[in-house]
C-alpha cells in the first residue's frame, strides 16, 4: 500500500503517480481531469477532492430475510387495504418493516438506529392524527427514514450527502430490490434440496412419505367432510356462504403483498451492502459564466418584483390595480400559492447549480456574489407570501391549507438562510446542506404532530366566532381531530352560529365510517366518536 493510500503525505500536485492511475479520486462535485484547463483549477480541485466510498458489494440473500419479506408482505397488505391507512394497521406496517431491518443485524451505527427509531416515531402518529395532509407527510417521513437507516446502517457518513450520490443510491435502491426478489426462489429451492438430502440420509425418505400421505388423505377428508356437512347443520354452517374465490380480491392481495416484500428486500439489500455507490457523472457541467447568466437573470426578475412591492407600499400601484379590476384588499389576498412555488423552485435551482457547476475558485466567487442576492430577494418574496397568507387568515379564518401554507413559508425562509450559510463558505468540504434541510423538515413535522394542527385551527375559528366557520365545516375542512375539538368547545360559540354549525358538523360525522376494530383504530377518530354524538343526539 502506498503512503498516499495509507493516509501519508500526498505527492506534489500535477505529478502523476501509480496511485493516481489505479485509484482515481474524482467525486460527484469534480469534473473529469480532461476538463481541468489550467494548473490553478487542478490545484483547487485537488484541494477539494474527497475520496470516493468503497465500491458496493451486495450481500447474498440470507434465509432469515425471506421471513422478514413475508412479514412485511402481510403487514403492507393488511395496512394498505384499510383505507385510509392512518390507523393502527399503518403503524403496525411501519413497525414490522423497521423490526425486520433491525433484526437483520446490519443497523450497526448510532445514527442509523436513531433514524430507525424516528421512522417508528412518525409511524406512531399514523394512528394518532387524522388530518390527511399531515398523514401523507408522516408516511413520507417514515419511508425516508427507513431508507436512510438502511443506507447508513454500516457507517456511511450521514453529514456528507451529495446530490449526485443521492441519485446514484436511488438507482441502486430499485435494482437491489429486484435482485433480492429474484434470489428468493433460488434460496427456497436450495433450502428444499438441503431438507430433502437430510431426510433421505437421516429420515429414510420422510419428506416423500409425508407427501404421499397427503395425497391419500386429501380425497378421503373431502368425502368424509361432505357426509358430515349433510348430517349436521351447525357443521355445515362453517362452510356455507363460500361462493368461490374473487379473482379481483386475490389480485389485490397479491399486488400489495408484492409491494411489501419488494420494499423489505430493497431495505435489507441496502443495509447489507458494504460501501456506497459511485456517484453518477454529471449530465451537464456548467462553468461560472453559464451559472452567472442564470443567476443574473433570476436576480433581475426578482428585483423587478421587489420594485413592484415598493410601489404598492408607497401607494403608486393604484393604476395597475384599477386596470386589473382589484381593490387593495383583494390584491393582498391573492397569489400566495404562486409565490411559495417561486420560492421552492428557486431553492431547487440554487442546489442544482451548485451540483452542476465546475468547482474552482472563480466559480465559487461568482456563485457567492450572485447567489446571496438571489437568496435575499427570495426571502422578500417569502415575506410577501407569508404576509398575504396572514391577511387572508385574518379576513376569512384559518383552514388546514392556509395553516400549512404559512408553516411552509416559514420553513422555506429558514431553508434559504441555511443555504446562504452554505454558500458563504462554512465547511465547504462537507456536503451538509441536504442533511440539515432534512433534519429541519423532520423537526418541523414532529412539532406539527405534537401540536395537533386541527386543534389549533378549530380553536382559532371558535375564538373568532365568525360566519366563515360554517362554510369551513360545510366544506369538510375538519377531520376527526377537528371535529372532536369543535364538539367539546361548542358552547363557546354564539347561539346563532352554533345553530348554523351544528347540522353540517353532525352530517359530516354521520357520513364518516368510524370502524372500532383494533387495526382501524385512530385516536383522533375515537375522540370524535366520544364527543360528537353527544352534540348531535339521535
At residue 247, the pLDDT reads 64
| Burial per residue of 87-106, b for 16 or more beta-carbon CB atoms within 10 angstroms, e otherwise | bbbbbbbbbbbbbbbbebeb
pLDDT at res. 443: 95
pLDDT at residue 21 in the model:
39
Output the pLDDT for position 56: 52
Please tell me the pTM assigned to this model. 0.70
User: Which pLDDT value is given to residue 309?
Assistant: 78
Task: Give the Cα separation of 293 and 360 in Å (integer).
Answer: 17
Query: Residue 332: what are its φ and ψ, rounded to 5°?
Result: -70, -20
pLDDT at res. 185? 60
- Check residue 536 and give its pLDDT: 81
CA distances from residue 170 to 144, 269, 357, 380, 459 in whole angstroms, order as listed = 12, 13, 22, 34, 43
**Residues 349/371, Cβ–Cβ less than 8 Å:** no
* Cα 36 to the center of its chain, rounded Å: 38
CA atoms of 195 and 208, how far apart (whole Å)? 11
Cβ-based neighbours of 24, under 8 Å, separated by 6 or more: 52
Report the pLDDT value the prediction gives residue 95, as an integer from 0 to 100: 92
pLDDT for residue 289:
80
Q: How far apart are CA 50 and CA 29, in angstroms?
A: 9
Residue of 445, 431, 469 lying closest to 158 (CA atoms): 431
On whether the CB atoms of residues 130 and 87 are closer than 8 A, the answer is no
Query: Which parts of the chain sit beneath pLDDT 70?
Result: 1-63, 82-84, 154-155, 159-209, 211-212, 232-248, 274-285, 312-335, 358-360, 511-516, 538
How far, in Å, CA of 263 to CA of 504, rounded? 42
User: Which DSSP string do the residues of 91-108 spell out, in sequence order?
Assistant: HHHHHHHHHHHHHTT---
Amino acid at each position: 500500500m502506498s503512503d498516499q493510500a495509507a493516509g501519508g503525505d500526498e505527492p506534489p500536485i500535477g505529478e502523476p503517480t501509480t496511485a493516481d492511475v489505479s485509484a482515481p479520486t474524482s467525486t460527484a462535485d469534480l469534473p473529469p481531469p480532461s476538463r481541468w484547463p489550467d494548473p490553478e483549477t487542478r490545484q483547487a480541485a485537488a484541494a477539494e477532492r474527497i475520496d470516493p466510498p468503497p465500491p458496493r458489494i451486495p450481500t447474498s440473500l440470507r434465509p432469515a430475510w425471506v421471513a422478514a419479506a413475508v412479514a412485511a408482505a402481510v403487514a403492507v397488505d393488511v395496512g394498505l387495504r384499510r383505507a385510509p391507512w392512518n390507523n393502527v394497521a399503518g403503524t403496525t406496517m411501519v413497525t414490522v418493516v423497521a423490526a425486520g431491518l433491525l433484526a437483520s443485524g446490519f443497523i450497526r451505527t448510532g445514527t442509523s438506529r436513531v433514524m430507525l427509531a424516528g421512522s417508528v416515531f412518525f409511524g406512531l402518529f399514523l394512528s394518532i392524527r387524522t388530518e390527511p395532509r399531515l398523514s401523507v407527510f408522516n408516511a413520507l417521513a417514515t419511508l425516508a427514514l427507513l431508507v436512510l437507516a438502511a443506507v447508513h446502517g454500516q457507517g456511511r457518513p450521514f453529514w456528507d450527502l451529495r446530490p449526485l450520490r443521492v441519485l446514484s443510491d436511488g438507482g441502486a435502491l430499485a435494482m437491489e430490490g429486484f435482485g433480492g426478489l429474484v434470489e428468493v426462489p433460488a434460496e427456497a429451492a436450495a433450502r428444499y434440496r438441503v431438507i430433502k438430502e437430510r431426510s433421505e440420509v437421516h429420515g429414510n425418505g420422510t419428506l416423500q412419505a409425508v407427501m404421499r400421505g397427503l395425497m391419500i388423505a386429501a380425497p378421503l377428508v373431502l368425502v368424509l367432510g361432505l357426509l358430515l356437512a349433510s348430517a349436521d347443520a351447525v357443521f355445515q354452517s362453517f362452510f356455507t356462504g363460500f361462493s368461490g374465490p374473487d379473482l379481483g380480491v386475490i389480485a389485490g392481495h397479491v399486488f400489495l403483498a408484492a409491494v411489501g416484500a419488494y420494499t423489505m428486500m430493497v431495505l435489507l439489500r441496502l443495509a447489507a451492502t458494504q460501501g456506497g455507490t459511485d456517484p453518477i457523472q454529471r449530465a451537464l457541467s456548467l462553468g461560472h459564466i453559464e451559472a452567472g447568466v442564470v443567476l443574473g437573470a433570476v436576480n433581475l426578475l426578482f428585483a423587478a418584483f421587489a420594485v413592484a412591492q415598493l410601489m404598492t407600499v408607497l401607494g403608486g400601484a393604484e393604476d395597475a390595480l384599477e386596470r386589473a379590476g382589484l381593490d387593495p384588499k383583494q390584491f393582498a389576498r391573492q397569489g400566495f400559492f404562486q409565490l411559495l412555488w417561486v420560492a421552492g423552485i428557486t431553492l431547487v435551482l440554487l442546489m442544482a447549480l451548485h451540483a452542476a457547476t465546475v468547482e474552482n475558485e472563480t466559480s465559487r466567487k461568482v456563485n457567492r456574489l450572485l447567489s446571496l442576492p438571489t437568496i435575499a430577494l427570495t426571502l422578500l418574496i417569502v415575506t410577501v407570501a407569508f404576509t398575504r397568507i396572514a391577511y387572508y387568515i385574518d379576513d376569512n379564518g384559518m383552514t388546514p391549507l392556509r395553516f400549512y401554507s404559512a408553516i411552509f413559508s416559514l420553513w422555506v425562509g429558514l431553508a434559504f438562510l441555511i443555504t446562504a450559510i452554505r454558500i458563504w463558505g462554512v465547511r465547504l468540504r462537507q456536503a451538509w446542506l441536504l442533511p440539515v434541510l432534512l433534519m429541519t423538515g423532520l423537526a418541523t413535522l414532529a412539532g406539527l404532530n405534537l401540536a395537533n394542527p386541527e386543534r389549533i385551527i378549530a380553536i382559532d375559528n371558535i375564538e373568532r366566532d365568525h360566519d366563515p366557520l360554517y362554510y369551513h365545516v360545510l366544506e369538510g375542512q375538519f377531520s376527526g381531530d377537528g371535529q372532536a375539538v369543535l364538539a367539546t368547545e361548542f358552547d363557546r360559540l354564539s347561539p346563532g352560529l352554533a345553530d348554523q354549525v351544528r347540522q353540517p358538523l353532525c352530517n359530516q360525522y354521520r357520513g364518516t365510517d368510524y370502524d372500532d376494530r383494533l387495526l382501524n383504530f385512530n385516536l383522533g377518530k375515537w375522540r370524535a366518536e366520544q364527543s360528537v354524538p353527544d352534540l348531535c343526539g339521535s
